Amino acid sequence: MAFICVKEPLQAPVPEELSDKELLNSFRNPDTRSYAFNLLIRKYQKRVYWHTRRLVISHDDANDVTQDAFIKVWKHLEGFKEEAQLFTWIYRIATNEALSFLRKKKYKFLIPFVNVENELTRHLIDDNFFSGDEIQLKLQKAILRLPEKQRIVFNMKYFDELKYEEMSSVLGTSVGALKASYHHAVKKIEKYLKEN
Amino acid sequence: MGTNKNIEHNEDEQGLPVKQNSFSAPSDYFDTLPVEIMDKIHSSAKQKKAFSILNPSFAVTSLALLSGMIALLIFLKTNASSSEIMLSENDIEHVVQNPESYNIDEDAIIEKYLSSTIELTEDNPVISDDDIKNFLEESSDINNIINEY
């Protein structure tokens, strides 16, 4: 894989695209199913990738998780009831894939959870696809020290800029609990940055 | 797409550094990712189809194989039991001990039987074809002949 890197904005502008409703209608038609899903991937791939990338850190792992997440979306999209927004549903699948990936990693190498965070930090330092300065590296280290749930909440709010209501739909947690979780996460990160 | 975007901090985020994406991906990554995913989806669907139990061709093949095996088992079992009837240990022993008994001459059997049941007279010095025919029509129980012999 070439080491020519492309930095992505936090919210990548999406080219002219179909609405979720149109995509779903096309997907339900057997003749346009694959085409519609291809468009769906193009529409959401960046958001899913960057979200999982911040959770699993390494590009290769994020690539695997993103692909697995979209394959799961393909399998279950037929039964999607449109009670939630399509993108929060996809986010939910991607988040679960990333978390189960990290848990598998923990069991596979028989390492305690704390050391998984150390392992991710090591990846961060060695990663050819991490191009942040010293303060950004320190920020990522601080995020990796957070408990799992707080880390997800922080990333979704701070980097992905989701609304609390959307996060609530993705994580199945109340808005109040998410606000509290985010507040605690920010305080911990600020403390870490001051002390280091 | 190539620039990072700084976003305003809210109150909670006063003490945090400027927001930016410090991660990057290979240059053509997002051009090839949809193709890779679609390839995986299609290849796994093909694999699933090929090995599915519900696949008609798989089901027909399995059924034919199963029927063949059952037929073979029945054939082997029937053969084994019929050979037991034809050649039991006692039969073999009997044949070995009395080999002459099994040199069966049909003409001799018939002649012997008829000679004991049809009286030869002066008017009828030989056994005619009619005698044999009548005899066979009247008492054609071949088991009697064999048992008597």
A11 CB-side CA count, 13 A:
9
A 115-154 near B (Cβ less than 8 A): 127, 129-133, 135-137, 139-140
Res B9: pLDDT: 46
Quick one: which of A45, A193, A49, A61 has its CA closest to A120?
A: A61
Res B62: pLDDT: 79
d(CA A180, CA B12): 11
- B28 pLDDT band, cuts 50/70/90, is very high
- Over residues B34-63, the mean pLDDT reads 77
3-state helix, strand, coil in chain B (%, to 5): 65, 5, 30
Contact at CB, A2 and B41, closer than 8 angstroms: no
d(CA B149, CA B135): 17
A62 pLDDT above the threshold of 90 = yes
Q: Which of A13, A41, A131 sits opposite B34 (nearest CB)?
A: A41
Q: Which residue has the tokens 């209501």?
A: A165
Res B21: pLDDT: 84
B94 pLDDT above the threshold of 70 = yes
Q: Is B24 helix (H, G, I), strand (E, B) or coil?
A: strand
Q: What's chain A's length in residues?
A: 196
Task: Find the helix or strand (DSSP H, E) in which A5 lies.
Answer: strand A5-7
User: What is the pTM assigned to this prediction?
Assistant: 0.63
Interface with A, mutate which of B18, B19, B21 (most A CBs under 10 A): B21
Residue B118 contacts residue B127 (beta carbons within 8 Å): yes
- Over residues A97-113, the mean pLDDT reads 78
Res B59: pLDDT: 72
Summarised one tens digit per residue, pLDDT across range A142-182 is 999 999 899 999 999 999 999 999 999 999 999 999 999 99
The C-alpha torsion from A59 through A60 and A65 to A71, rounded to 10°, is 120
List the beta bridge partners of residue A130.
B23
Vertex A180, ends A177 and A184: CA angle to 5°? 140
B46 interfacial to chain A (CB closer than 8 Å): no
Res B92: pLDDT: 74
Vertex A126, ends A125 and A128: CA angle to 5°? 110
- Over residues B10-21, the mean pLDDT reads 75
A175 interfacial to chain B (CB closer than 8 Å): no
d(CA A58, CA A123): 6
B72 pLDDT above the threshold of 70 = yes
Task: Find the helix or strand (DSSP H, E) in which B26 lies.
Answer: strand B24-26
d(CA A182, CA A174): 12
Q: Which residue has the tokens 């054939």?
A: B75
- Over residues B124-142, the mean pLDDT reads 67
Taking each helix axis as running N to C, give the angle between helix A86-108 and helix A59-76, from 0 to 180 degrees, rounded to the nearest 10. 130
Q: Is A130 helix (H, G, I), strand (E, B) or coil?
A: strand
- Over residues B88-110, the mean pLDDT reads 69
Q: Which of B2, B13, B22 sits opposite A140 (nearest CB)?
A: B22
d(CA A91, CA A88): 5
Q: What is the mean pLDDT of chain B?
A: 71
- Over residues B99-106, the mean pLDDT reads 64
Q: What is the mean pLDDT of chain A?
A: 86
Res A91: pLDDT: 95
